[in-house]
Amino acid sequence: MKYIYNISLPFLIIITNLVGANLIAQSQTNERAQWFVDARFGMFIHWGVYSGAEGIWKGEKLRNDNDYAEWIYYRNRIEKEEYLTLLDRFDWDSIDPEEWVLLAKRAGMKYVTLTAKHHDGFGLWDSKVSDYDVADYTNPKRDIVNELAEACQKYGLKLGLYYSHWVDWEHPYGWDHTKEIYPITAEQYDHYWQEKVIPQMRELLTNYGPIGMIWFDMWIHHSNSIVTKAQLLQLKSLIRELQPDCLVNSRLGLSIEEDSDVDYRTLGDNQLGSKKLDYPWQSPATVAHSWGYHTLDTQWKSTTTLLKSLINNVSLNGNFMLNIGPRANGDVPFEISQRMLEMGEWLDVNGESIYGSEAFDLRKDLHDWGKITYNPEADGNHKLYLHVFNWPYNNMLNLTGITTKPKKAYVLRDKLKSPLSFNHNEVLTEISLPVTQPDPHISVIVMEYDQKPQIVDGLVAKTVDGGYSLTHENRISEEGDRLIKRAERGGTIPEHILINEKYQIRWKIFIDKPGEMIVDASYSFQGEKPRGTLSVKTAGSTIKNDIIPTGKTVGEPNQNWQIDNYSSNRIGAINFPEKGLYEITLEVDAKKDETILFQWLWMKGK
């Protein structure tokens, strides 16, 4: 072991104070993170000694249902010296990091993040701080970080480095979960920190040119770990000192809420965005399940699914970083490279809707056909990109909520921008689509406006088949007691609200064609006989119905599993005399102790 630096504790405290006084405000406009926000799509690379094991050690599969191949050293309790015998399987002549960068480029990715040091503690660069690195086990010496850095420079991609700071299975005082049973002292841990983490980070930030981001990986808050906040701040301030433009992610162990100087939030593994955030964020994702190469990993997501994940995140202001786990000879598994190349082909045509684009103001998941992104300055125009995940069977796309009349609509793939005809009606734009979907995965319709499209918020959108689904989620207001119950038992029991007495809920819809509409309500009522009432009020009329028993159904055959039935009950029909905005009110008058479980109202023209 040749640890060279030894920084003392008082020094650490001084750094902490400096950082505390110097917080930089965090928001979507964080200048340092602007390139990252625009980039939207990046590559993660998990490659290291574990790649030689391919998820199997001495004939035994990785010991954990969460098959992360890069955890094999820890999971299968491998001896440190024996672990390195895996390096015998590496074919150094064919390992070429430039090929990974080329793949990233062709996939339309704008940055690459390599596991410079994963939890096993083995460095992929020539570290003077530790003997446990690639340069000490190759002849001639290899420095993978350097090779990757040069390739990134050559192809114009940003370089990110993953560094496992909290966990290190190599250093005697690095964190290893076994230490929950055989503890070490805070002082011992600080030895590891000052002898390995700080000086190695100094090497990475000094010897490899500009580093776009350091990707830390502590997925719990520091207060639940051995790492102290002071140590984390010391690390962050070293980065700020050596490379002020380098981004730091929230898996440093400090949340953005706690320290606004953390540049972006990293969500959980394979966790996609579910809401808009006003600061940069990212989902790390795999094509199958494992990060490091695992020969038994077979859950390949389709190219379409991966593109939908990317689009979902951009539609909520987020980033998507997709992983490759190359093999011991450097090859990227075909199932991964094929999908990435297909994503690249799609982005070649449709990239305008992703890079530099952002969330639009309408409510997330307003439309049942797909997702919207927005670019306020696409060649002098304001453009909305309608990503049609589900091509409407009637080739008519209903865009609800925008009052501004579009200048033009066209298919993004169509270089001639041949106009699609549309009908703009107050807050509803109906676009006539080509009969066949033009793109292999997801087609994008561009809506051009000469100003920022203005919206009416809170509307329930018209579905592909011309109806309105009114749920607790898309209401505008409510009064009275109720309890929200999430879906249960694999969704057999749907999300619903539990109503005990008087309750009122309201929605807003736009009616474009006057006339009669049928109204159905889905609920479950387990009383013996009809009790209480349910009324729908709108357009000057009220229809009132008894709440009727809905009985039970079977969840799974032969499992003695009976569940409350939710049935669609016809409430009646309502006439909407003219086009315009209407408020719909549902009033539930349940009897005390005879609960009604309400799910949705459905309205559709006759």
**Nearer of residues 258 and 269 to ligand GLC, judged by Cβ:** 269
With binding defined as CB under 6 A, does residue 68 bind ligand GLC? yes
Distance CA 193, CA 196 (A): 6
**Nearer of residues 167 and 461 to ligand GLC, judged by Cβ:** 167
Q: Per CB under 6 A, which region of 64-72, 254-262, 326-334, 353-361 contacts ligand GLC? A: 64-72
Which residues, other chains included, contact 284 with Cβ-Cβ below 8 Å and sequence gap of 6+? 44, 266, 267, 269, 270, 321, 323
**Nearer of residues 284 and 333 to ligand GLC, judged by Cβ:** 284
Q: Per CB under 6 A, which region of 63-71, 85-93, 134-142, 347-355 contacts ligand GLC? A: 63-71
**Nearer of residues 192 and 422 to ligand GLC, judged by Cβ:** 192
**CB of residue 509 to ligand GLC, shortest distance in Å:** 42
Long-range contacts, 333-338 (Cβ 8 Å, 24+): 333/293, 335/287, 335/288, 335/300, 336/287, 337/103
**CB of residue 196 to ligand GLC, shortest distance in Å:** 18
- Token readout for 584 is 């719909």
With binding defined as CB under 6 A, does residue 54 bind ligand GLC? no
Q: Quick one: which H or E segment has residue 204? A: helix 198-207
Q: Per CB under 6 A, which region of 68-76, 200-208, 491-499, 585-593 contacts ligand GLC? A: 68-76
Q: Site mask, ligand GLC, residues 286-315, x = CB under 6 A?
A: -----x------------------------
Residue appearing with tokens 């980070």: 201
**CB of residue 333 to ligand GLC, shortest distance in Å:** 17
**CB of residue 199 to ligand GLC, shortest distance in Å:** 22
- Token readout for 307 is 């593109």
With binding defined as CB under 6 A, does residue 284 bind ligand GLC? yes
**CB of residue 50 to ligand GLC, shortest distance in Å:** 9
**Nearer of residues 169 and 410 to ligand GLC, judged by Cβ:** 169
**Nearer of residues 62 and 314 to ligand GLC, judged by Cβ:** 62
**Nearer of residues 55 and 284 to ligand GLC, judged by Cβ:** 284
Rg (CA), the chain: 28
Residue appearing with tokens 């841990």: 189
End-to-end CA distance of the chain, in Å? 79
**CB of residue 295 to ligand GLC, shortest distance in Å:** 17
Contact status, residue 493 vs residue 594, Cβ threshold 8 Å: no
**CB of residue 277 to ligand GLC, shortest distance in Å:** 18
**Nearer of residues 133 and 217 to ligand GLC, judged by Cβ:** 217
Strand, helix or coil at 544? Answer: strand
With binding defined as CB under 6 A, does residue 70 bind ligand GLC? yes
**Nearer of residues 68 and 410 to ligand GLC, judged by Cβ:** 68
489 CB-contact burial (10 Å; exposed 0-12 / middle 13-18 / buried 19+)? exposed
**Nearer of residues 76 and 522 to ligand GLC, judged by Cβ:** 76
- Token readout for 376 is 């306020």
With binding defined as CB under 6 A, does residue 176 bind ligand GLC? no
Question: 516, 519, 574, 514: which is closest to 541 by C-alpha?
Answer: 574
Contact status, residue 526 vs residue 505, Cβ threshold 8 Å: no
Distance CA 546, CA 528 (A): 13
**CB of residue 569 to ligand GLC, shortest distance in Å:** 46
Question: 398, 371, 378, 326: which is closest to 103 by C-alpha?
Answer: 326
With binding defined as CB under 6 A, does residue 269 bind ligand GLC? yes
Alpha-carbon distance values, 314 to 191, 268, 271, 321, 354 (Å) = 42, 17, 14, 12, 7
Q: How many residues bind ligand GLC (CB under 6 A)?
A: 9
**CB of residue 241 to ligand GLC, shortest distance in Å:** 26
Q: Site mask, ligand GLC, residues 22-51, x = CB under 6 A?
A: ------------------------x-----
Q: Quick one: which H or E segment has residue 266? A: strand 265-266
Residues 193-252 within binding reach of ligand GLC (CB under 6 A): 217, 219
Which residues, other chains included, contact 337 with Cβ-Cβ below 8 Å and sequence gap of 6+? 103, 324
Contact status, residue 147 vs residue 97, Cβ threshold 8 Å: yes
Q: Per CB under 6 A, which region of 66-74, 184-192, 468-476, 499-507 contacts ligand GLC? A: 66-74
DSSP, residue by residue, 81-148: HHHGGGGGG--TTT--HHHHHHHHHHTT--EEEEEEE-TT--BSS--SS-S-BGGGG-SS---HHHHH
**Nearer of residues 47 and 391 to ligand GLC, judged by Cβ:** 47
As beta bridge partners, residue 397 has 431
The site for ligand GLC (CB under 6 A) is made up of 46, 68, 70-71, 217, 219, 269, 284, 291
